[in-house]
Structure 1
Amino acid sequence: MQHKLSSPHERAATPDHGNGNLWVETWPVLRRRKLLILGCGIVALVAAQLSTGRGTPEYQAVASIRVDERQSQPPLQDVVRLSSGNSRSAVANNISTEMQMLQTRSLARSVVDSLGLRTRVRAPAGVARSSIFSEIAVSPEGERGEYAIERTARGTVELLDRTSGASLGRIGPDGRIEAPGASMRLASTAAQHPRIEFDIVSSDAAARALSGAVEVTRQSRDTEIIEVRYRGTDPELVRDVTNALVTQFIEERNQSSSHSTLSTVGFIRAQISGIETRLAAAEEALRAYRESAGVVSVQDQATTEVRQTADLVAQHNVIEAERVALARVLNYAEVNRSSNTDNTTSSSYRDLVAFPSLLRNQAVSSLLSSLNQVEDRRADLLARRSPSDHDVMILTRRAEEIEQQLHTVAVGYLQGLNSQAAALDGVLASSNRKLGQIPEKEMRFAQLQREVTGLEQVYEQLQARLKEAEIAGAAEDVSVRLVDAAMLPTRSLPTKRNLLLALSLVVGLAGGVGLAFVRELKDGSVRTRGDAQFAVGVPVLGMIPRFGHPRRRFYQSVRTLLHPRTKGLGSGQSSDSTAIIPAATGEAAERAYAADAYERLHTNLLYAHVRNGCRVVVFTSALPGDGKSTSAANFALALATRGLRVVLIDADLRRGSLSTVFRVPRAPGLTELVSDEKRSSESTRTVYAAGSGQLDLVPTGELPAHPTQVLDSPEMSALVETLRARYDLVVVDTPPLNVVSDATVFNTAADAVVMVARAGVTPVEALIYAGEVARNAGMPLVGTLLNGIDFERDASYDPAYRWYSYGKAYYTEVGS
C-alpha cells in the first residue's frame, strides 16, 4: 500500500485524510499529546483541591412566614377579583409583592443597624463573632475602616489602624473599644487570639451583602408560606440575621397596616364633617322655602299625580346634575392624572365621595379608602426618599391601579346615568303635557326634601364605615405571621467537593485537549517522510531511530558504535569511551540496531544517481541541532565496522564537535592538514569501532579566523582528492546551510550531499530554504536523512513508522 506524501500545510488544511472519520483524525493527536493533556488535568485537579481545601464552611438558616389576604379590606379584594377574573392570581400577586418587600434595601439596612452587621471579623477565620465581641454598636454615620486588636510584648492590648499601622489607643481591662463611629466590647474568649482583625464597612455595602446572601422563595404554588434563607460562615449570626429579617418585616407590615387604618379613619371623619355641613345647609334651605312659600301640607296642595310628576322631575334633575358633575369630575381627574407626571399631588378621584350613589357602592368606597391609604404611605416615603425609590415606585403603581379601577366603575356608572336620564326625558315629556299646571313651589319643595333625605342616608353610611374602621384598627393584623423561626444550624452546607474536583478534572482535560490541538496546528516541524521530501525535493534515503537517554542522546548514539578504546594514530594517545546503553537492550543488540539504520543509508546512496561512485559524502543540515554531526559520525562508524576504509572529516571550522564526541584533541587537525599535508599522520586519529573495524578521524584543528577561505582553497580540494584515492569512503561533516555558506564550497568535491533533518525539531520552512541554497550552489543533493524518530510515538504521523518500530525488539531478541 502506498501512502500519499504531503506537506504539513496540506495536512493541517485537510481535516479528512481519506478515512472519512473524525475520530480517526483526532485520536492520533490525543495520543501524541497525552502527557500535555494529562498534565493540564492534573494541574486543574490540584488547583481545585487546594481551593476547596482552604474554604471556610458555610451555614444556612431558614425561617417561614405565612402571608394571607388582608381581612380589613374585603370590598377591595372583590373588585380585584372581578377585574382579573381569577382570585388565585390576586393571591399570587400579593405573595410576590411581599417576597419583593422582603428583599428591599430599606429592610436590609434596618437589620444591619439592629445587629451591627457593619462590623466584619476578618481574622481569625471561621470563629463566631460572638466569641470576639460581646457588644457591638455602630452608628449609621460611622466611618469605614480596617482595624486590628493586637497583644503587645508588654502584655497590653492595643487597637491598630491596619491601613496606616498607627495605634489608636490601648484597650482597658473592661474590653471596651472606641473606634471612629463605633463602640464594642471584647468577649472573654477573645483573649485566646493574639491578633484580631475586623473591618467597619459602609451601610450600603453591608445592606448589599445582606441582600445578596438572602434567598426568598415560596414553599409551593398552592400554599401561602414564604421561606427566607440566609447563608454565612458564622452559624450564630446566620440564625440571628434570619430571625431579625422576618421579625423586622412583620413589624414594619403591622405598622403599615396600623397607619393605613388610622389614615382611613381620618379620611372618613373628614368626609363626615363635610356631609354634616351640607346636610345642615339643605335642612336650612328646606325650612326657609317652607316659610317663604307657605307650604304646610303636601297632601292638601297636590294630587297623587302631581307628587309622581314632581318625583320624576326631581329624580331627573338629580340624575342629570349627578351625571354632569360626575362627567366634570372624571374629565378633571383625567387631565390632572396626565399632568401629574411626578406623582407628587393627591389623586383627584377623591372627589368621587361627593356622589352619594357612588359612595353607597361598597366597592367604590373601599377603593377610595385604599387609594387614600396608598397615597398617605407614598407621601410619608416621599418625605424621606426620592420618587425613583423602589418602594415609592411600588406604591405609585398600586395607586395607579386603584385609580384605573375607580375610573372603570365611574365610567360605567356615568353610562347608567345617561341611560336613566334619557328614559326619564321620555316619561317627563308625556307627563308635562298633562301637568302643565303643577305648582312650581310644590316641585321645589319635593326637590329640597329629597336632597335632605339623600344626605341623611350618606351620613348614616359614613358613620357605619367609621365604626368598621375603628374596629379594624383595634384588632391585630394576622395576615402575616411567623410560622417557624430560624434555628441554630449545626451542620455546614455541603461544598460539593467531589463534584467540583470532577468538573475541574474535566475542564483541565478539555483545556489540555484544546492546547494539544493548538500546538498541533502551530507545529511546523518535519514529522514524516512526506514533510522532508516536500521541503527538499529529494527522496528520504534513511530514517534513524531515537535511542538512548534524552539528555545524552548525541553522545550515546555515537558511542554505541565505538569500541571501548579509542587511540590517536600519530600521538599514540588513547581515551576510554564506554557506550551508554539503555537497560532494555543489550550492548550487541543496541549496536546492531544503530548500525543497521546507517547501513541502509549507505545502500540507498549506492543506488542513488550520484557521480564518481559515491566516494565523498557531505553531511549538512538547515540549522544547528538537527543531528548532522551525529549522523555523519554514526554513518562512518557503521561502515567502518563492515571493514571499509573510512575517514571522517570535521569540516565545521566554526564550532566542530567531533573531537569532543570521540574524546580526542581538537588540534592538530584539518586546519593544519590543509596548510601542510605532511602533517597527515599527526592530524589523523584512529577510532576503533565495535568489532574489528577502525575509523580515521580528522578533527577541526585550531579554529581559523576565516573558515570559508580555508575550505575553499586549492589545498582543500587537493586534500579531498588525496583522501578519495586512499579511502573507500570520505565522510565530511559541514556547518548548517542556513547559518553559513561553508558547506557550499563542496559543490564540486562532493559526490553526494545528504541533508539531515531532526523529526519534530527542524522547521519545514528552514528545510525548504536549505534545499534552495543547496540547489542554487550546485551541490549534488541526493537525499535527506530523517533522524531522531520515535517510531512508536510518531506512528500517528506516518503509518510506515510502526513497521520500523519492530526493529528494536527484533535486535533485542537476537542480542539476547
Structure 2
Amino acid sequence: MLSITFVDQKPRYASDVANQVAQSFIDQRLDQTSETSDLARQFIQEQVLQVKQKLQKSEEELVTYAKDAGITVTGDDKSLIGSNIEALNTALATAIQDRLDAGRVVDQIDKGRGSSLSPVLESDGLQKLSEKLADLKSQYQQKLSILKPGFPEMQQLQSQIKELTRLYNNGVLTITDSLRLKYQEAQNKEADLKSKLAEMEKQQVVFNDKNIKYTILKREVDSNRSQYDSLITKLNEVGVSSELKTQSAAIVDFATLPVSPYSPRLIINLAIALALFMALTASIIYIIELLNNTFTNPEQVERELGLAMLGILPLVDDRELTASIADQKSGLSEAYRSLRTSLQFSGAEGAPRSLLVTSSEPSEGKSTTSFKLGQDFAALGAKVLLIDGDLRKPNLHRLFGLDNAIGLSNLLTNTVRKEDVAGIFRTTKYPNVTVLTSGTIPPNPADLLSSPKMALIVTNLGKRFDLVIVDAPPIVGLSDAPILSRLAEGTLVVISTNQVTRKAAKTALKRLRAAGANVIGAAMSKFAVNKFDYNYAYKYMNYQYYEHGAGTPKIEGKVDDGAGQPAHAKSPAFKRLVRRLRSGVDGFVDRAKSAP
C-alpha cells in the first residue's frame, strides 16, 4: 500500500497532482513490464538458436557413431540384439516347457500305459475300434456258454477279435510314435534355441562395449532436446505476456478535494516551537551548570576544601553596595554580623587576636569583608586595628576615604620620622576603629612582609589592640598572603560564588597550610540568595528582612530616592520584584562568564 501526499495552496491542483502521480506510476510500471518482456523474448530467441545448433550437432554425432559401430536401435530405445535375446529367452522357455510335457508322455509310453494317454483316448477311430472290439468280446462270451470255441462261428468271432485288436494296437502305436517324435523335436528345438541364445549373448557383450559412447552421446542429445523444449515453452509464454498488458498496481482511493487548509497549524507549530525552546533552554542551562567549575553553594566549599563555612555574604549590586554596608538593617549587614558571631566561636578563647583576611583571586570581597568586620567588632566595644597588607594594590584607604601617603611600607622601610609614627595609625569616623594604610607602594613587597620587623609590628600591635585585622593580597600567584598568614593567629578565606575555580581555591588553601597558616574557616561572598534551589534555605538573608514601616533611611547621594517615578514603581512589592529579576539575570550572566 502506497500513500501519495501532495501539498499545495490550491486544493484542486493538489488533488489532480496526487491522482496523476498515481496514474503515471501505473503507466510507468506497464511500460517497464512490456520493455522487460521484449528484452526477455529477444534473449530467449538467441538462446533457442544456440541450443538448436547444439542439438543438431549432437544428433548428427549420435547417428554417425551408431552407423559406424553398427548399432541398431528399435523404436523403444532398445538395441536389436537386446530385442532378439529377449525373444530367444521367451522361445527357449516355451521350448523347455514343451519338451518337459512331451517327456512326461513318453515316460508313460515306456511304462506301457500308452493306451491310457489322452491322445489315444480322444482318437475317434480308436474309440470306435475299442467299442466294436468290446461288442465282439461280449458276443463271444455270450455264445461261449452255448457253443464251443472250435465252432466255426466262434472261430470267426475270434478272428474278428484278433483283427480288431491288431488294428487297435497299431493305432495306439502310431499315436505313441508321433508323441515320441514330438518329444524328439522339442529336444532339438531346445538345443537350437540355447545355441542361438549363447551366440546372441556374445554379440551383446560386444554391443555393450560400443554402447557406452553411444549412451554418452544419446544423453547429450536428450539434454539438448530437453533444454530446447524448455526454451521454446518460455518463448511462447513471454510472447503471450508481452501482448497482454496486465496492471501490477491499482488505485484504491482517488485523492479527494480538500475542504480545509492542511497547514500551517498555528497551535501545533507554537506548541512544537515552545517545546523545542524549552528543551534547548534546559540543555543550555544544563551544559552551563555542567561546565561550571566554580563554587555555587556553601556545601561545595565544605565538601571540596574541608573548611567550616563561617558566613554567607549575599550578592549585592555594585550600585547598592555602599548603601547596604551603611544600612545596619540590610541583609548584607546582617550577614556580616553572622560572620562576626561565627568568628567569636571559632576558637577556644573566642575570636583570634589577629585575623588575616585573604582570598584566592582578586575582586572576591576580602577588603570589604575586612572593612565591615572591623566595624562590627568595634561595635561590641573592642579596639580594632585594620592593616592594609596589600602592598601591591591597596584598597582599604578608599573604603575609609583616607589618603595613602604614608603607611605600613614606610614603617617597614624606616622612611618615616619618629615624631610621625603616631600619625600613621589613623582614627576613623567609626568608633574604636583604627586604620594602618599600606603607604607608598614598594618594589619588593614580599621582602618587606617577610622581614622580622613585620612580625615585631604585628606582635606589638596585638598587645595594644583587642583585634588586629590584616587585609592581605590574593593567594594565587603571590607569596604575600602565605607570609602574612604565619604572623596571624587565624586566617579567614573569602570565596566568591561563581567566580573562583575549585582548582584555584584548592591550590590557594594548599599554599596557606604549607606556610603554616591556621585557616579557621571560609566566608562565601556574592551568593545569590534568590536562586530557586537555595531560596528557602537562605531566605533569612532577604534584602527586605529588616524593612519595617514606611521605608529605610538612605545614604544621601548614593541611592535614588525614587522621585519622579510612577506610583507603582515606589511600592515595596514592585521594588522587590525588580531586585529579584535583576539578581536572577546577573546570576545567570555571572555563571555564563565563569563557565570554562
Give the TM-score, by structure 1 length: 0.39
**Residue 244 (structure 2) pairs with residue 493 (structure 1):** no
C-alpha separation in 2, matches of 1:688 and 1:792: 34
C-alpha separation in 2, matches of 1:479 and 1:744: 90
- Shift of the alpha carbon at 1:732? 0.5
Query: How has the CA–CA distance of structure 1 residues 736 and 591 changed in structure 2, closer, same or farther, with 3 Å as cutoff?
Result: closer
User: Over residues 446-505 of structure 1, what are the superposed CA-to-partner deviations in whole Å (9 max), with x where a residue is unaligned?
Assistant: xxxxxxxxxxxxxxxxxxxxxxx9xx99xxx99999999878878653234432332333
Q: Does the CA contact (< 8 Å) of 1:535 and 1:765 recur in 2? A: no
Choose which of 325, 328, 342 in structure 2 pairs with 1:601: 342
C-alpha separation in 1, matches of 2:29 and 2:468: 104
- Shift of the alpha carbon at 1:687? 3.3
Q: Does the CA contact (< 8 Å) of 2:295 and 2:301 recur in 1? A: yes
Q: Does the CA contact (< 8 Å) of 1:735 and 1:743 recur in 2? A: yes
Q: Does the CA contact (< 8 Å) of 1:648 and 1:698 recur in 2? A: yes
C-alpha separation in 1, matches of 2:510 and 2:248: 93
C-alpha separation in 1, matches of 2:451 and 2:533: 46
Within a 5 Å distance, the mapping from 1:517-556 to structure 2 comes to 517-527=286-296, 529-540=298-309, 542-549=310-317, 551-552=318-319, 555-556=321-322
C-alpha separation in 2, matches of 1:772 and 1:746: 15
Residue number in structure 1 paired with 2:372: 634
C-alpha separation in 2, matches of 1:257 and 1:762: 76
Query: How has the CA–CA distance of structure 1 residues 716 and 495 changed in structure 2, closer, same or farther, with 3 Å as cutoff?
Result: same
- Shift of the alpha carbon at 1:741? 0.9
Aligned residues: 379
Within a 5 Å distance, the mapping from 1:404-483 to structure 2 comes to none
Within a 5 Å distance, the mapping from 1:584-623 to structure 2 comes to 588-590=329-331, 593-605=334-346, 607-608=347-348, 614-623=352-361
**Residue 560 (structure 2) pairs with residue 679 (structure 1):** no
Residue number in structure 2 paired with 1:812: 547
SS at match of 1:624: coil
User: Over residues 653-711 of structure 1, what are the superposed CA-to-partner deviations in whole Å (9 max), with x where a residue is unaligned?
Assistant: 1122223333433333322343326434554444324xxx3532233222211111222
Letter in 2 for 1:763: T
C-alpha separation in 2, matches of 1:730 and 1:719: 11
Within a 5 Å distance, the mapping from 1:88-107 to structure 2 comes to none
Within a 5 Å distance, the mapping from 1:339-350 to structure 2 comes to 349=230
Query: How has the CA–CA distance of structure 1 residues 812 and 596 changed in structure 2, closer, same or farther, with 3 Å as cutoff?
Result: farther
C-alpha separation in 1, matches of 2:542 and 2:266: 49
Query: How has the CA–CA distance of structure 1 residues 653 and 247 changed in structure 2, closer, same or farther, with 3 Å as cutoff?
Result: same
C-alpha separation in 2, matches of 1:260 and 1:718: 109
Choose which of 426, 429, 450 in structure 2 pairs with 1:712: 450
Residue number in structure 1 paired with 2:537: 802
Residue number in structure 1 paired with 2:487: 749
Q: Does the CA contact (< 8 Å) of 1:593 and 1:807 recur in 2? A: no
Q: Does the CA contact (< 8 Å) of 1:609 and 1:782 recur in 2? A: no
Query: How has the CA–CA distance of structure 1 residues 479 and 793 changed in structure 2, closer, same or farther, with 3 Å as cutoff?
Result: closer
Query: How has the CA–CA distance of structure 1 residues 592 and 751 changed in structure 2, closer, same or farther, with 3 Å as cutoff?
Result: same
C-alpha separation in 2, matches of 1:518 and 1:604: 40
**Residue 6 (structure 2) pairs with residue 230 (structure 1):** yes
Query: How has the CA–CA distance of structure 1 residues 665 and 772 changed in structure 2, closer, same or farther, with 3 Å as cutoff?
Result: same
Letter in 2 for 1:597: S
SS at match of 2:345: helix
Letter in 2 for 1:709: D
Residue number in structure 2 paired with 1:667: 405
Query: How has the CA–CA distance of structure 1 residues 725 and 808 changed in structure 2, closer, same or farther, with 3 Å as cutoff?
Result: same
SS at match of 2:358: strand
Query: How has the CA–CA distance of structure 1 residues 602 and 807 changed in structure 2, closer, same or farther, with 3 Å as cutoff?
Result: farther
Query: How has the CA–CA distance of structure 1 residues 592 and 796 changed in structure 2, closer, same or farther, with 3 Å as cutoff?
Result: closer
**Residue 513 (structure 2) pairs with residue 646 (structure 1):** no
Letter in 2 for 1:688: K
Unpaired stretches in structure 2, ≥5 consecutive residues = 40-218, 553-596
SS at match of 2:546: helix
CA RMSD of aligned residues (A): 4.9
Choose which of 239, 242, 246 in structure 2 pairs with 1:372: 239
SS at match of 2:473: coil
C-alpha separation in 2, matches of 1:233 and 1:678: 97
Query: How has the CA–CA distance of structure 1 residues 492 and 739 changed in structure 2, closer, same or farther, with 3 Å as cutoff?
Result: same
Q: Does the CA contact (< 8 Å) of 2:340 and 2:377 recur in 1? A: yes
C-alpha separation in 2, matches of 1:370 and 1:636: 110
Letter in 1 for 2:516: G
Letter in 1 for 2:469: V
C-alpha separation in 2, matches of 1:673 and 1:657: 18
Residue number in structure 2 paired with 1:625: 363
- Shift of the alpha carbon at 1:779? 2.0
C-alpha separation in 2, matches of 1:597 and 1:732: 20
- Shift of the alpha carbon at 1:625? 3.0
Q: Does the CA contact (< 8 Å) of 1:260 and 1:373 recur in 2? A: no
Residue number in structure 2 paired with 1:733: 471
Q: Does the CA contact (< 8 Å) of 1:640 and 1:646 recur in 2? A: yes
Query: How has the CA–CA distance of structure 1 residues 370 and 492 changed in structure 2, closer, same or farther, with 3 Å as cutoff?
Result: farther
**Higher strand fraction (1 or 2):** 1
- Shift of the alpha carbon at 1:635? 0.7
SS at match of 2:547: helix
Query: How has the CA–CA distance of structure 1 residues 787 and 253 changed in structure 2, closer, same or farther, with 3 Å as cutoff?
Result: closer
Q: Does the CA contact (< 8 Å) of 1:544 and 1:785 recur in 2? A: yes
Letter in 2 for 1:667: A
User: Over residues 586-628 of structure 1, what are the superposed CA-to-partner deviations in whole Å (9 max), with x where a residue is unaligned?
Assistant: x6455752452233134224x3468xx7322111122223322
C-alpha separation in 2, matches of 1:644 and 1:666: 25
C-alpha separation in 2, matches of 1:509 and 1:373: 65
Residue number in structure 1 paired with 2:232: 351
Give the TM-score, by structure 2 length: 0.51
Within a 5 Å distance, the mapping from 1:38-57 to structure 2 comes to none
Larger radius of gyration: 2
Query: How has the CA–CA distance of structure 1 residues 682 and 235 changed in structure 2, closer, same or farther, with 3 Å as cutoff?
Result: farther
Query: How has the CA–CA distance of structure 1 residues 243 and 671 changed in structure 2, closer, same or farther, with 3 Å as cutoff?
Result: same
SS at match of 1:656: coil
Letter in 1 for 2:274: L
Query: How has the CA–CA distance of structure 1 residues 547 and 813 changed in structure 2, closer, same or farther, with 3 Å as cutoff?
Result: farther
- Shift of the alpha carbon at 1:728? 2.1
- Shift of the alpha carbon at 1:776? 1.7
Residue number in structure 1 paired with 2:274: 505
Q: Does the CA contact (< 8 Å) of 1:791 and 1:805 recur in 2? A: no
- Shift of the alpha carbon at 1:260? 11
**Higher helix fraction (1 or 2):** 2
C-alpha separation in 2, matches of 1:709 and 1:681: 24
Query: How has the CA–CA distance of structure 1 residues 255 and 533 changed in structure 2, closer, same or farther, with 3 Å as cutoff?
Result: closer
Choose which of 723, 731, 745 in structure 1 pairs with 2:461: 723
SS at match of 2:391: coil
User: Over residues 70-106 of structure 1, what are the superposed CA-to-partner deviations in whole Å (9 max), with x where a residue is unaligned?
Assistant: xxxxxxxxxxxxxxxxxxxxxxxxxx7xxxxxxxxxx
SS at match of 1:731: strand
C-alpha separation in 2, matches of 1:763 and 1:486: 65
Within a 5 Å distance, the mapping from 1:266-285 to structure 2 comes to none
Query: How has the CA–CA distance of structure 1 residues 728 and 795 changed in structure 2, closer, same or farther, with 3 Å as cutoff?
Result: farther
User: Over residues 121-174 of structure 1, what are the superposed CA-to-partner deviations in whole Å (9 max), with x where a residue is unaligned?
Assistant: xxxxxxxxxxxxxxxxxxxxxxxxxxxxxxxxxxxxxxxxxxxxxxxxxxxxxx
C-alpha separation in 2, matches of 1:755 and 1:510: 39
Q: Does the CA contact (< 8 Å) of 2:355 and 2:467 recur in 1? A: yes
Query: How has the CA–CA distance of structure 1 residues 260 and 685 changed in structure 2, closer, same or farther, with 3 Å as cutoff?
Result: closer
